[in-house]
Structure 1
């Protein structure tokens, strides 16, 4: 079976009545798969009103092509910061990248919950399985194949599942369906990255099924597509004057304040501690505060 057929089968099993829709390749293909399965999900997106991101024109093009209803939540600074604080409490980390990205998803899923959506689908897994990230596209083919295989064995994390649970909304990710994962692992790296373009095999198979501007859209992280990247500076400003008991800086400092105000704690590691917060490093990366030891 082709990837579109496998995704449609996975979407049929997921039976989502909502979809997080950025207008990027992964969410668009999932929305397509849901409609192919005979479903009409509502698309949900969040935008930072003071400085909107890049998503809206693309998600509207997907909505027109698939004839879907779309709900865009436009949030101001206070609501965006509040969403970030709520995500700190849900994920129990003060990692700015994780929290800021998930804050946008939180607002979208909260809107879905308020509308009575029971299950929402996401495009999680598409980038990991088909080399959507720039750093993956720089890897040698054999290295990339092995890296993706390790991810698929459980070394990935998607915050949407925890956020959805907190909001009372079931979350499903068709790309994480076992049949789709099995297919992805059978595709060699040379088919996933071609001419410096990631997810090439996905783009090629969906050409003609979705608008070309969506099929060949560059990868924009959630924070960029939603405009929530502006929160890094907002949070950093709000951290001014706060005295933390660890050498955390910028947005992480404000999120650490929110973390502590919620009475949250974490274990320090003795063997491989993060030099900022003391949490256990994983391949030089700290999931708690976002520190990364670059080679």
Structure 2
């Protein structure tokens, strides 16, 4: 059996093991593959009303091709900010990148709960196992294998914590045992490569399913949830709403009182929510972030505050 057939078979088996009747559908490669392999689940997509988003056309196309009933949940700014607050409370960090992305999943899981679903399927895990992140795409092959192994050793998925908090089971077919074993055996050179002069991550997934899903999606560049749903617009929102002088004063006070260096207005907004719910972050004893003083384990990315590179 060739690699592409093995990938298809492993993912099909993993999807068949899922019991949920609902998928979080972004119209990206990963969720569209699941939509193709599952037996006609319902689908939900979260789209911001007031910010630019990129997922709408793609999720509609994916749902149409797979014959799924798609619900578009249009989220206003007030709802998004409420989701941000709840997400910070659940995840216990003020990492701006993670919060912007995870707030989207919070709204999808909350939608599932309000509409009577007990579970939801997500495409988490594909980027880690199959080299989907942008920083991996141009990495030399001899380094890529080690980087995939490193990323997989520390991967975590906020959707699981969010689901647990809301009482909704989150199923991740890309993390099925057979899929993980196979993915870790596939050479890095099959995960990243070129098509029509452009380099792509998750190459083996794209080729395995390009005959089953729309070409626009099979070869769609990676789009983080914050871009697809539109929550990336929060950065500009906070820049426009928070007065510069007030921010400077509050940043200085936070540095002197809490020992935390706030990098921007958005981080300040998130930090205030975090501090109210969890208190001042505890200082690490090993290798720490120069901004929030939390332990990083030697990583260049701080899970607590989102600083990168450090």
TM-score (norm 1): 0.93
- Per-residue deviation at 1:52? 3.5
- Per-residue deviation at 1:270? 3.3
Out of 279, 282, 289, the residue aligned to residue 274 of structure 1 is 289
| Residue aligning to 1:60 | 60
- Contact 2:88–2:274, Cα closer than 8 Å, also in 1: yes
- Per-residue deviation at 1:206? 0.2
Match of 2:45, SS?
strand
Instruction: Report the aligned-residue RMSD.
Output: 1.6
Match of 2:223, SS?
coil
Task: State the alpha-carbon separation in 1 of the partners of residues 308 and 81 from structure 2.
Answer: 24
| Residue aligning to 1:290 | 306
| Residue aligning to 2:221 | 218
Match of 2:170, SS?
strand
Task: State the alpha-carbon separation in 1 of the partners of residues 89 and 8 from structure 2.
Answer: 37
In the superposition, relative to structure 1, how do residues 158 and 13 fare at CA in structure 2: closer, same or farther (>3 Å)?
A: same
Match of 1:2, SS?
helix
Task: State the alpha-carbon separation in 1 of the partners of residues 242 and 294 from structure 2.
Answer: 21
- Contact 1:236–1:254, Cα closer than 8 Å, also in 2: no
Task: State the alpha-carbon separation in 1 of the partners of residues 293 and 68 from structure 2.
Answer: 46
- Per-residue deviation at 1:237? 4.5
Unaligned stretches of 5+ residues in structure 1: none
Match of 1:276, SS?
coil
| Residue aligning to 1:102 | 102
Higher mean C-alpha deviation, range 20-29 or range 134-143: 134-143
Task: State the alpha-carbon separation in 2 of the partners of residues 284 and 104 from structure 1.
Answer: 25
Unaligned stretches of 5+ residues in structure 2: 255-259
Out of 232, 235, 251, the residue aligned to residue 235 of structure 2 is 232
Deviations along 1:64-94, whole A, 9 cap, x unmatched? 1111111111112111111101100000100
Mapping for residues 245-264 of structure 1, pairs under 5 Å: 245=254, 246-248=260-262, 249-264=264-279
| Residue aligning to 2:202 | 199
- Contact 1:81–1:235, Cα closer than 8 Å, also in 2: no
Task: State the alpha-carbon separation in 2 of the partners of residues 41 and 189 from structure 1.
Answer: 32
- Per-residue deviation at 1:170? 0.3
> Are 1:155 and 2:154 matched, yes or no?
yes
Task: State the alpha-carbon separation in 1 of the partners of residues 242 and 276 from structure 2.
Answer: 13
